[in-house]
Amino acid sequence: MAEVKRVEYLFLGGGKGGKSLAMEMARQGKRVAVIERGMIGGSCINVACIPSKALIHRARAMHAWRDAAQQEDVTADMAGVSAYVASVVNGMVDVNRRAFEQSGLELVIGTGRFVAPRTIAVRGADGAETIYEGENVYINTGTVASSPDVPGLRDARPLTHVEALRLTTLPGHLVVIGGGYIGLEMAQAFRRLGSAVTLVSDTPRVAMREDEDVSTVIQRALTDDGIRLELAARLVGVEGKSGERVTVRLADGRAIEGTHVLVATGRTPQTAGIGLELAGVETNERGFIKVDHRLATTAERTWAIGEVAGTPMFTHASFDDYRVLKAGIEGRPASTAERLIPYALFIDPELGRIGLNEADANARKIDVRVAKLPIASVPRARTDGNTRGFMKALVHPGTGAILGFTMVGTGAGDVTTAVQMAMLGGLPYTAVRDAIIGHPIISEGLNLLFATLH
């Protein structure tokens, strides 16, 4: 009979929100166990945010050097890039492992599945099984890359961003399937490292969540980098093997020849095969766990955290789930409803956004005033030679409250944070317009942006 261990707080998965709460409770002297299949610190550190930004950093450096040296045909040493990415990841994994140990939690490496409410069986690498029972259970299993049902695609062994971040040989011609955020970041990074890149999407434009003027700027930047865009293109088949030779066939009869194919068409929650039905935990039609505004599932004393709970797919959103859950434990009010969650897309020019955009306002029939400013109007952008893009803000016509902000341009993520602080503080746009902002910095453009509203 399998050994049974009882703890006060039991976590299935160790992503950002889960590991933060687990360490918090362990430091308070609670008995805590975290069951993890092997990615110490979660996907952000191992296969997502951190390695992708390390790759993008090297790609930008390569692009800048190539431009300065006027050496267009030089490609990156992919083995060196891979080693750099791995060193960044390994360093952060070590930091997380030490933090786990110092907190006092029990880190359990193995594959877990529910066998009863708040009871998880864990099978280790040696095949031995241990049963963990938790007074309180948290599901933090995340999502994985999904792939469209296209004939031959699965047999072609396509890359996802996970495999792409571990390549030691630069693809000769990378075909990226998907026009969302991951596809855009990977497409530009590998192009700047020296690969030929074709991006294929069935959508009429890239970044469909954004306003059309944002997509236009991004598309121009990609084509200026030499990326071939095939938009409103429907895949009908894939032949060959990624890493050798692949042929991507489109509905209009055309074929795209490449050496590698990367799929970035969405994410699927990791809820299948983990015994949720035995735990009394229900999922929706897309497989995400059903939760209320406090992240409680349909099972008693069982919560879900992060992407698997339908939380927006950003590490900082998962971390806010930790705050909500911690408040619940401490008896303080907290909710996931009406959260103001910013995000950034790490291409060049960068995209930053928070709150409503024009498409959202139109769909919800919200009356707004729109302020828009080209980045070329910002002095710092001119000194740096980074004048592509614009800032755009949506303002309530009566109160002057800032309802949303979008920026595509250099430093967009940091400027978005400045606007977020104003929104959180309930400041009218005039307060930002009249603020004394340092010169010359990119955020100074906020003075100019809001001055366009009379």
Mean pLDDT value of segment 323-335: 97
Q: For residue 327, what is the enclosing H or E element? A: helix 315-329
Contact between 405 and 346 under an 8 Å Cβ cutoff? The reply is no
Mean pLDDT value of segment 375-400: 97
Mean pLDDT value of segment 2-23: 95
For residue 331, how many other CB atoms are within 10 A of its CB?
6
- Examine the fold and report which residue of 250, 265, 280 is the final residue of a domain before the chain moves on: 265
Residue 191 lies in a domain: yes
pLDDT digits (tens, 9 = 90+) for 126-166: 999 999 999 999 999 999 999 999 999 999 999 999 999 99
Closest to 144 (Cα-Cα) out of 252, 284, 47, 234? 47
Q: Do 122 and 14 share a domain, yes or no?
A: yes
Beta bridge partners of 257: 247
pLDDT digits (tens, 9 = 90+) for 32-59: 999 999 889 999 999 999 999 999 999 9
- Asked if the model's pLDDT at residue 1 lies above 80, the reply is no
pLDDT at 70: 85
Residue 51 lies in a domain: yes
What CATH number is attached to the domain comprising 405? 3.30.390.30
Q: Do 376 and 434 share a domain, yes or no?
A: yes
Which tokens in the block code for residue 344? 């950034």
**243 Cβ contact partners less than 8 Å away, ≥ 6 residues apart:** 157, 259, 260
The question of whether 439 is a catalytic residue gets the answer: yes
Q: What are the helix (H) ranges across 70-194?
A: 78-103, 161-164, 181-193
**Per-residue pLDDT band at 454 (split at 50, 70, 90):** confident
pLDDT digits (tens, 9 = 90+) for 217-226: 999 999 999 9
pLDDT digits (tens, 9 = 90+) for 54-98: 999 999 999 999 988 888 889 999 999 999 999 999 999 999 999
Mean pLDDT value of segment 299-322: 98
Cis peptide bond prior to 440, omega within 30° of 0: yes
Q: Do 9 and 126 share a domain, yes or no?
A: yes
Q: Indicate the number of domains in the chain.
A: 3
Q: Do 279 and 322 share a domain, yes or no?
A: yes
- Predicted TM-score (pTM) above 0.75: yes
Mean pLDDT value of segment 433-437: 98
Q: Do 410 and 395 share a domain, yes or no?
A: yes
Closest to 306 (Cα-Cα) out of 21, 104, 69? 21
pLDDT digits (tens, 9 = 90+) for 245-298: 999 999 999 999 999 999 999 999 999 999 999 999 999 999 999 999 999 999
Q: Do 126 and 164 share a domain, yes or no?
A: no
Closest to 329 (Cα-Cα) out of 300, 301, 292? 301
Mean pLDDT value of segment 352-377: 98
Mean pLDDT value of segment 316-337: 97
What CATH number is attached to the domain comprising 253? 3.50.50.60
Closest to 190 (Cα-Cα) out of 144, 147, 146, 222? 222
Mean pLDDT value of segment 394-403: 98
pLDDT at 320: 98
Q: Do 48 and 88 share a domain, yes or no?
A: yes
Of the listed 63, 293, 439, 454, which one is catalytic? 439
202 three-state secondary structure = coil
Question: How far apart are the C-alpha atoms of 55 and 96, rounded to whole Å?
Answer: 21
Residue 338 lies in a domain: no
pLDDT at 360: 97
Mean pLDDT value of segment 352-367: 98
55 three-state secondary structure = helix
pLDDT digits (tens, 9 = 90+) for 232-242: 999 999 999 99
Q: Do 129 and 27 share a domain, yes or no?
A: yes
Residue 119 lies in a domain: yes
**Per-residue pLDDT band at 118 (split at 50, 70, 90):** very high
Domain interval for residue 424: 349-451
**Per-residue pLDDT band at 193 (split at 50, 70, 90):** very high
Residue 368 lies in a domain: yes
Residue 17 lies in a domain: yes
Q: Do 25 and 141 share a domain, yes or no?
A: yes
CA distance from start to end of the chain: 75
Residue 78 lies in a domain: yes
Question: How far apart are the C-alpha atoms of 35 and 275, rounded to whole Å?
Answer: 15
Question: How far apart are the C-alpha atoms of 171 and 179, rounded to whole Å?
Answer: 19
- Examine the fold and report which residue of 265, 286, 301 is the final residue of a domain before the chain moves on: 265
Contact between 187 and 176 under an 8 Å Cβ cutoff? The reply is yes
Mean pLDDT value of segment 353-357: 98
pLDDT > 70: percent of the chain: 100
- Asked if the model's pLDDT at residue 2 lies above 80, the reply is no
Residue 444 lies in a domain: yes
Q: Do 184 and 104 share a domain, yes or no?
A: no
Question: How far apart are the C-alpha atoms of 229 and 235, rounded to whole Å?
Answer: 14
Q: Do 313 and 405 share a domain, yes or no?
A: no
3-state secondary structure 363-409: HCCCCCEEEEEEHHHCHHHHHHCCCCCEEEEEECCCCCEEEEEEEEC
The radius of gyration of the chain's CA atoms, rounded to the nearest angstrom, is: 24
Burial of 304 (0-12, 13-18, 19+ CB in 10 A): buried
Q: Do 244 and 289 share a domain, yes or no?
A: no
What is the DSSP code (8-state) at residue 428?
B
